[in-house]
Structure 1
Amino acid sequence: MALGQDQGERAAGSRCVLGRRRPDQTGGERGVVQGIDEYADLDGDRDGQDVTGCPSYLQPALTVPLGEPEPCEVLSMPVLLGIRSGGGVFSGYGRAMRSVRREQAIAYRLRVNNLVERLPVGLHEEAAYVGLQDTAPRDALLGLHARMAGCSPADWEHPSLIQTYSPRAAVYVLPLRDFGVFTLGRMPLDSRRIDVLAENVCRTLGGQERRGAGIHGLREACASGRIAVRWDTTSLWAREVPRPDIDVADARLELCRRHVHCFGPTTPKVFTWWSGMSPADARAVWDAIADELVEVDFDGVPGWVLRDDADHLWSAEAPRGLRLLAAPDLRLFGRDRDGRFIAPGLRALTAAADSFHPNGLLIDGRIVGAWGRKGGHVDVVLSEKLGQEQYDDLCAEVATLPVRDPRLSVH
């Protein structure tokens, strides 16, 4: 096969062993061999994944020592290895990719998630744009406080917000106007099972709000858009609501866009985890917005951002200021094994974190400690010493927490 020949012309049945990092024997700069290992488990097949007919974003894009293009045979599939050049990497098929550092990605994520500059009072729906996970007691309220000025203890049940199981069957606080995006948007392409479950759950509810305990299929049925929940940290209640008036296909695409906008650079595998969709369904949705995406070299591995967000990513600057982040927001710092993507994994970001201090103290774009609370008592464990100005900022932040009688201890 000639160098640069279109990948669509490769012989049917060609297979590719997934890329692995290997030492550079020439002393040159060598990056990660970028195959489709990051996404292979979408089809349940790791080594020896068949890439014939895969979309371009899953095709191999390999890196080699500086300035050294060469053909390579990977189990009979000829490819052109990429050349690392200045601002990024050229993929195996001539697509130039700009490089993104982890610090740059974190700065971008913090900004688009409104964790650098707080929203004005009352913009609850904007604060919950990508959903606020509420698994631990009132995590969503802490997430609102970190994003919006003037947050009050009752804001988690503001009329513009709604709770249900979504995504990944976790309790979320969501914008009411976008309820369909986070419910119908994760409906399986074959929705018959969910439709049956939803009908049974609604029949059980009988038009009343009832305790959710013991209602068969409740979590799955929430994807129908017909069921909302209310979790008050002691009991979970479920009720039937009108099905959102949104096209299901449009809802799926919007869910994927929001994921990429708020968590990019990201991958199909990460979207699968976050959305709770089956690997096949998530991949089909990702394919449908592929033309809206830009591939980047994210510290040596491929990632994707929305084309409209690319300039904001390139220009992202290190944020300034202090925030008390709830545990779900720590995923923005990369909690997978290599610290790049929001999932899967729960990699520790500071040695100060433990089960009593699961949340993060953010100062100037870095996690410098962990914190937890019991009632109004906020206990902070530092991994770095604070200056007097930073300590004063921490005291001021704690004083605004939407809890009764907030008080601080630091060690």
Structure 2
Amino acid sequence: MSDLYARHRAVTPDWLALYYEDPIEITHGEGRHVWDASGRRYLDFFGGILTTMTAHALPEVTKAVSEQAGRIIHSSTLYLNRPMVELAERIAQLSGIPNARVFFTTSGTEANDTALLLATAYRRSNTILAMRNSYHGRSFSAVGITGNRGWSPTSLSPLQTLYVHGGVRTRGPFAHLSDAEFIAACVEDLKDLLGHTRPPAALIAEPIQGVGGFTSPPDGLYAAFRDVLREHGILWIADEVQTGWGRTGDHFWGWQAHGRSGPPDIVTFAKGIGNGMSVGGVVARAEIMNCLDSNSISTFGGTQVTMAAGLANLTYLLEHDLQGNARRVGGLLIERLRAVTAQLPGVREVRGRGLMIGVELAKPGTDEADPRAAAAVLEAAREGGLLVGKGGGHNTSALRIAPPLSLTVAEAEEGAAILEHALHNAC
């Protein structure tokens, strides 16, 4: 056991997860690569849980942070803040929400917490609809609406949560149906649920479930849900903490795959926008954002140095069409992974969109989750020089692949080859 690992265990909670039997300390990065304390280089296919969205040590972002830090780092929201206003203007325009207002936080958890506060205050209801297998953060209210048992340490909650079918296409009672039949069945289930409860405040949903293993419904499900929600005045909150900013390739926001009924009422974001800096936030229609009738501030949300990072990162992403790169390189990577896993009985499914890819493992010949195999592949990939994540609602049996959006074709091929070797060795 390394000295740092022993010190970590002595002062941090037992429930603070670490990857690998022999955990690594990442000391620096560049592009799509990181180095550990022993000097070993890894191709990074997880980006600090989808936060390093463009590249490690991106010069444009590090320069913006350094220059802003040399002027002022922080003043709180009690004072005018030019970088915060400039980033809010750009996000409001990109959100697609009419007459949008933006509130910045320090994390996706806090963003979802704020969205829940807004929705329940606006609707005067503490009932929330959430998706099974979902994850929305680690605060008390976010845990209360998380539909993934592995990430929900308590059933206590200030909210009444009702869980809806649809977040996982290939499991559950509707898995055998066609896409159109699946959507219809989930809609009927939602209608039936609403017939037995007082009108909820909102439905909160990840367009692609992140911690749940990068699962998603057929395109159009949330648009069909929206039609039902509107009949009851129920808000739609899109949790874009992991799907936003072009990661899915086909769309800038994940909700746009379900967008025939227009944008959500509220969108939450975080992770990639700061390229590693702590940035989260909420976008909502003005009438919803302004519904609170008491004072509020954010001490660290929207601080100048993180806003400078977000502005530089967003500019780089748009000017270099990283959404298009995610679509092109991600499409190649998904097809490559499907090809190399086609004959592996322990691989149940390769799924995803853009550079957000899940590889679900199961015990050969069954649909039973295989967390042991997932852990073994994680270790074998690391030995091969590749870092990936894991997740899933069925005992953490899915590998999560989400490289920086500037990933090259050569790096995608290299990562796929390492993962192929790891899968053959571990499954």
Greater fraction of residues in strand: 1
Q: Same fold (TM over 0.5)?
A: no
**TM-score, scaled to structure 2:** 0.29
Q: Which has the higher contact order (CA 8 A, sep 6+)?
A: 2
Q: Which is richer in helix?
A: 2
TM-score (norm 1): 0.29
